[in-house]
Amino acid sequence: MTEHQLFEELKKLSLKYIEICAKCGQCRVICPVYENTGKEPSTARAKISLVEALLSERFIPGKRFNEIISQCTLCMGCMEKCPNDVRVDLIVAVGRFISNENHFSIVKSLLFRYLLMNSKRLGFTLKTIRPFQRFALRNSSLLPRLFKRRYIPKIANKFIREKFGILAKAGAEKGRITFFPGCLLDFFFPETGESLINILNLSGLSVFIPDRWACCGIPAIGYGDLMNAYRMAVHNARLLGDCGGDLILTACGSCGATLREHAPFLFGWAERKIEDVGKRVRDIMEFIHAEKEIRHIFQNINFPKKIFYHPSCHLKRGMGVHGEVLEVIKDIKGINLTVMEDRCCGFGGSFNLKWYEFSSEIGERRVMVLKEERPDYLLTGSPGCAIHFQDLLLKNGLHIKIVHPVVMLKEALLSGQKIPL
């Protein structure tokens, strides 16, 4: 597949959706970007009209186009509101694809084409720069400008694969299941993966962690590098397609949504395996919810904590996983759970990198309620949201533990009192 072929196919697909956009304007109602600017250029229909004009070659994209098309967190809120089910995510990605054509960047091709294509390579690189990162974090003047004055997650001391090898075996093995860790989980938040593995092992499931997986592709999609996103999707589909077993678990809403929804939608026509693999993907909380035996473990625990849950856009809108998470959390006795407003935190990956102030302003609106309520835990299903919230909390001088729900589950198991039967 050449880049040109890919573009032509995705262009065709976009036009199908552009055609049915009624330009009604409802898309702005829960748009985090519009919430901030209050101006039409931030709306989804504005972006759609621009991509439409571009695809029909009515104008040449300039700086302003790049600016407008990059101001989207890809939260899919507009898609939830759209009466015609227009795939705004696709149209924005295609818009960025076009706007990027003229902006070849060596750093980005190194990242997408080389590092994110192979987890082993990425792990090795991160390990190499780990001492430098530690040093720079202590002397912030050494940080590149992009990373100053903001929270940067630490490269983990031990990656998931280093700790568990290729198979995390359960004591009394009843079955095996595949786990796709993804970049952020494996190299920055291994405790999420560890908690997942511990809980599954406890229930008799051995966890298989494949080698040399590629990034799920969401950063590349977000950046508009659809060619590399395609390569990643194909790589992962072949790798995971050959893994035995039935289900593939993720504990990152972004990876899950990409493997299960975005990649099959964007590239399924080119490689059937992408769709087949997508159908097997489950979020860990969704999985626990469906497995009575595992769920049962948490029903006899008391864990009196005040908990706030931020629905990650990728988990809720991308994967459609929401009620399941809440039900599993509510199984635990003593928990005081508040579900936060269902709006994007403002992270949006490349959006946060390019429009940091903007991204923070959106986030500040979400943090207000945390300032008042000061919960013990803030749970969210995507590490992207967690990074952003950590940054916001630090700036506000708040100390709230931000973790994936599965980490809280493990902590509840460890410290929670068993309810006397």
Partner 1 sequence: MTTSQIEKGLKKIKSLFGKRALDSTEDLIIYSFDASKKESLPYMVVYPENEEEISEMVKIASEFRIPLVPRGAGSGFAGGSIAKIGGVIISSEGMRQIKEIDEKNMLAIVEPGVITGNLHRAVEKKNLFYPPDPASLEFSTIGGNVSTNAGGLRAVKYGVTRDYVLSLRVVLADGSIIKTRADTLKDVTGYDITGLFVGAEGTLGFVSEITIKLIPKPERRGTLLATFPSTENAVDAGIEIIRRGCVPATMEFMDRTAIELVRSHSGLKIPSGIGSALLLEDDGFEEAVKRSLKIMEEVCLEKGAVEVEGTMDEEKKEEMWKIRRAISPSLAKIAPLRFNQDVVVLRTKIPQLLKLAEAIGQKHRIPVVNFGHLGDGNIHVNFLFKTADEEDRAKGAVRELLRNVFEMGGSISGEHGIGMAKLLYVKELAPPRMIEIMRGIKYLFDPKNIFNPGKVIPRD
Comparing CB distances to partner 1, the nearer of 46 and 126 is: 46
341 binds partner 1 (CB under 8 A): no
40 binds partner 1 (CB under 8 A): yes
Distance CA 287, CA 315 (A): 13
Of 47-76, binders to partner 1 (CB under 8 A) are 49-50, 53, 58-59, 62, 64-65, 68
Distance CA 347, CA 387 (A): 8
Query: Among the residues of 139-203, which ranges form H helices?
Result: 160-164, 183-187, 190-202
* Identified binder of partner 1 from the candidate list 8, 25, 132, 212, rule CB under 8 A: 25
- Assess contact for 385 and 362: CB atoms under 8 A: no
144 binds partner 1 (CB under 8 A): no
# of chain residues touching partner 1 (CB under 8 A): 26
* Identified binder of partner 1 from the candidate list 5, 56, 84, 109, rule CB under 8 A: 84
19 binds partner 1 (CB under 8 A): yes
* Identified binder of partner 1 from the candidate list 6, 10, 44, 46, rule CB under 8 A: 46
Distance CA 184, CA 189 (A): 6
244 binds partner 1 (CB under 8 A): no
Give the 3-state secondary structure percentages of the chain, helix then strand then coil, rounded to 5.
Answer: 60, 10, 30
What is the β-pairing status of strands 306-310 and 301-302? unpaired
* Identified binder of partner 1 from the candidate list 4, 38, 107, 171, rule CB under 8 A: 38
How far, CA to CA in Å, does 143 sit from each of 136, 140, 146, 311, 396? Answer: 6, 5, 8, 32, 22
83 binds partner 1 (CB under 8 A): yes
User: Interacting stretch for partner 1, rule CB under 8 A, among 6-14, 42-50, 357-365, 413-421?
Assistant: 42-50
Question: Which among 262, 225, 223, 236 has a CA at the least distance from the CA of 13?
Answer: 262
Residue with tokens 């190194």: 110
User: Interacting stretch for partner 1, rule CB under 8 A, among 41-49, 212-220, 260-268, 299-307?
Assistant: 41-49
Residues of this chain that bind partner 1 (CB under 8 A):
19-20, 22-26, 28-29, 38-41, 46, 49-50, 53, 58-59, 62, 64-65, 68, 83-85
